[in-house]
Amino acid sequence: MSGVPYGPILVVEDVPNIRELLEVTLSFKGYPVMTARHGREALEKIAIERPALIVSDILMPHLDGFGLTQRLRIDPKTRDIPIILISATYVSKEDKDFAIKLGAIRFLEKPVDTDEFLLTVAEILTQGPPSVPDPITNEEFYKGYMVRLENKLEQKNRQILRTNRLLASLPEDQRPTFEAILMEEIGYRDTIQNELTELKQLFEQNPSSEIPTTPTAPTGDADPKD
């Protein structure tokens, strides 16, 4: 396959093995690839070399995929870079609708099907400049993102309640596995709650302020329970 005409593909993913898998998959097909561990690092690399396409996880520290998409779409210099968002956590219809509203060209669920992924990349790169919606305001972004976090928080609380109920009925030899699951769920719940609290504070202080590059987002968008 010939190289990408307008620059490399930028893979933005905080989980090392997933980042490496996407990089190897694309490189094997002949695409030049560069990688970033989160949105903040992605912005730094984009400032040096403009990518032809961005493939980004959503749930990442420092600046997640939603925030990265918003930052790129409100900047005229990067507004037309096509973005594919991938996620194992934000997979509801409302989450996907929000991603498209922000300006993502496609949305793929984890685990990513390799054939579907490569087909999507090829389609985007051969279709020419994408048609992206007008960027939403940062105020609209904050409001929409807070709704997404509130829904995810409610879901995590339901999972914790179910796991607690299950633990009460399990024999002792089966408890350790589900106790570990419970602790992981509580960790996700707490980090989502922290991010929601931080975003609400930022919004109350200045609804139109720039999307920060250091949110306390949960790390590793590969939660198999979602």
Structure tokens at 55: 């493939």
Q: What is the mean pLDDT of residues 185-189?
A: 88
Average pLDDT over residues 66-79: 94
Please, what is the average pLDDT of the chain?
A: 87
Structural domains in the chain, CATH included, are 9-126 (3.40.50.2300), 138-205 (1.20.58)
The amino acid present at 119, given as its one-letter code, is L
Q: What was the pLDDT predicted at 213?
A: 65
Residue 133 has pLDDT above 90, yes or no: no
Cα–Cα distance for residue pair 137/144, rounded to 1 Å: 11
- Model confidence at 221, pLDDT cuts 50, 70, 90, reads very low
Q: What does the H/E/C string look like for 35-86?
A: EECCHHHHHHHHHHCCCCEEEEECCCCCCCHHHHHHHHHCCCCCCCCCEEEE
Phi, psi of 57 (to 5 degrees): -65, 165
Distance from C-alpha of 152 to C-alpha of 87, rounded to nearest angstrom: 13
DSSP state of 111: S
Report the pLDDT value the prediction gives residue 161, as an integer from 0 to 100.
Answer: 95
N-term to C-term CA, the chain? 35
Given a cut of 60, whether residue 2 has pLDDT beyond it is no
